[in-house]
Amino acid sequence: MRKLARTILSLLLVLSLLAGVTACAEQPKTVNVAVTGTLSSLNPLLIDATEVMKYAISLEFLPLVELSRELEFVPQLAESITTQDNITFTIRLRDEAIWSDGTPVTSRDVLFTLLLMTSPEAGKAILSQYLILGTDDAGMLPSGATEIEGVKIVDDKTLTVATKWPTALYTFENNFGRYMFILPEHVLGDIPRDQLLTHEWFQRPDVISGPFFIQEADLSHYVRYRRNESYFLGAPKIDYLNLNITTSAQLLAGLTSGEIDLVQQTMASVLLEDYEAIRGLKHVTAVQGSPVTNQSIFINVNNVPDVRIRQALLYGIPRELILSELLGGSGEVVDAFLCSASPYYSEALGVTGYDPGKAAELIAEATATGANTSLVWYADSGDATFVSAVELIAALMEEIGLSIEIRTVDLDSLMGVAGEGSFDVMSVQYTYAPTDPYTDMSWLLSADGWTRYGNSALDADFALTQQSADIEAVRNAYLNINRQVVADCPMISAYVISTLGAVSNRLVNCTPDVYGTFVNVHEWDIAE
């Protein structure tokens, strides 16, 4: 009996151990990504200018191409995008690209998405990239259009797109490659277009092309994803990925406790005072991002029409001091848009120095002719560092005759204010692709862009950036554009920041950077 009892006990112990091993093996792999900006939507038809929304959507709906850490366009749904004349572009889709239900991704899906993005019912994208297609002056097609002039389907995996005017390949790749998320015609084709912007399907799409399905979403707090077992590039190694909306002040604590696995530079803003503490965490790798994120100040020239007031802001902001004191020198000060990492940056532009005397003189001149000297400045409440900078700027300006009322709002609200043009001055971190400054600059400086600027004197130089293969000629064209921006001040670059990202050492095959972080998300894994 004792022998039998020992045998039974031994078997129970073995079963218990096996159960423990099985339970351990079945523990799902979950990655938590911190987000300090809000999300306005997860509907690709409502894409805005924020990288947060772009990456949140691209986890389920892939773009055609994406930028890598090396600032090169790499395939996503498209195998390649090519052109011989900067007018006709050939998009070749990957042969293996399929939707999660097994249906091939085809050139019909690309045309379908283009038709939606340019329809008056569903076309709500804020960027003006569709103007170069066979659309009207607002980038739209007639209601119910079933084709686009210049867009031709060659076969199931190939289509050509002819633009109305010459367009550089990198601009086409950035506009149509990175910021258009292909949608499944076989799923959405029968839904009336005027229902798509608010359709419940987008809350939890059941047919996707990307690595993760949305499992649950509360856009003020989180988005929960589960892996797509049928992802054509290979099922993700992690089971769940969470975007958790938090504050900059909570990032250090979350990284320390292990509740946060990843802080990516354009989705979360680390407080400068926490940089060294994060660098000191032994279970975390801190990564200084490429210095391409511009702390931009946009001035609505319709609301601030006196150029002297706008120039006074440029002369009256101690940009070098702010960079040094608030950011520890992690970045650079430049005029206008271009950072030194851009191949089109020219040192000949120089940098406007801090000159409060000149600023005071300009304000006095403007005041004498009846100019408004009271401004409303909207700032991103999620960027505590620059909110402090705006408070400093307002105090300095008050001393020389310019009154600034500061209004801090969340990123989603700030994008609404920007789109409506209901601001005098606004500040936001804006990442201009160094390889394609045209996309952002041409729109932001237009009469319809955030600045409401619109200067026809820039047209020839903008056109040259799209037509010339001579990098020196393109650089000179951008130099001319930037000089005009410095003279008229529709925008000011406070500084270009090299932001800090961080990744838990338990998460392998993941390196946070301004670009390319999520290109290989299906290869991320949890260390044993």
Least reliable range by pLDDT among 115-129, 247-261, 309-323: 115-129
Q: How far is CA 62 from CA 65, 70, 78, 227, 411, in A?
A: 8, 20, 10, 14, 24
Model confidence at 366: pLDDT above 80: yes
Alpha-carbon distance of 297 to 495, in angstroms, equals 10
Among 44-48, 154-158, 345-349, 472-476, the range of highest mean pLDDT: 154-158
pLDDT, residue 79, reads: 98
pLDDT at 14 over 60: no
Are residues 93 and 166 located together in one domain of the fold? yes
Q: Which of the pair, 292 or 111, is modelled with greater confidence?
A: 111
492 and 504 co-located in one domain: no
Locate tokens 């554009």: which residue? 481
Q: What is the tens place of the pLDDT at every residue in 444-483?
A: 999 989 999 999 999 999 999 988 878 899 999 999 999 9
Alpha helices in 64-105 (DSSP H): none
Residues 218 and 229 grouped into a single domain: yes
d(CA 180, CA 151): 15
Given a cut of 50, is residue 298 above it in pLDDT? Answer: yes
476 is a domain residue: yes
Question: Are 243 and 188 within one domain?
Answer: no
Q: Which residue would you say has higher pLDDT here, 4 or 330?
A: 330
From 141, 175, 200, give the residue that closes a domain: 200
- Amino acid identity of residue 23, one-letter, is A
Q: Do residue 344 and residue 491 come from a single domain?
A: yes
- Burial class of 438 by CB neighbour count within 10 A (0 to 12, 13 to 18, 19+): buried
Buried residues in 453-480 as b, exposed as e (16+ CB within 10 A): bebeebeebbebbbbbeeeeebbbbbbb
Determine the pLDDT at residue 13.
43
Domain count of the fold of the chain: 3
Q: Are residues 299 and 245 in the same domain?
A: no
pLDDT surpasses 60 at 19: no
User: pTM for the complete prediction?
Assistant: 0.78
For the chain, the first-to-last Cα distance in angstroms comes to 43
Q: Report CA-CA distances (Å) from 507 to 66, 79, 237, 247, 336.
A: 22, 28, 11, 22, 38
The pLDDT of 393-408, averaged and rounded, is 97
Instruction: Mark whether 160 and 226 lie in a shared domain.
Output: no
- CATH number of the domain where residue 256 is located: 3.40.190.10
* Domain span at 380: 293-497
Q: Are residues 130 and 175 in the same domain?
A: yes
Q: Is 359 in the same domain as 317?
A: yes
In a domain, 56, yes or no: no
Same domain, 73 and 157: yes
Q: Please check whether residues 196 and 108 belong to one and the same domain.
A: yes
CB contact at 8 A, 338 and 437 = yes
Domain contains 205: no
404-410 average pLDDT score: 96
Regarding whether 411 and 305 lie in a shared domain, the answer is: yes
At 4, the pLDDT band (50, 70, 90 cuts) reads: very low
76-100 pLDDT per residue, tens: 999 999 999 999 999 999 999 999 9
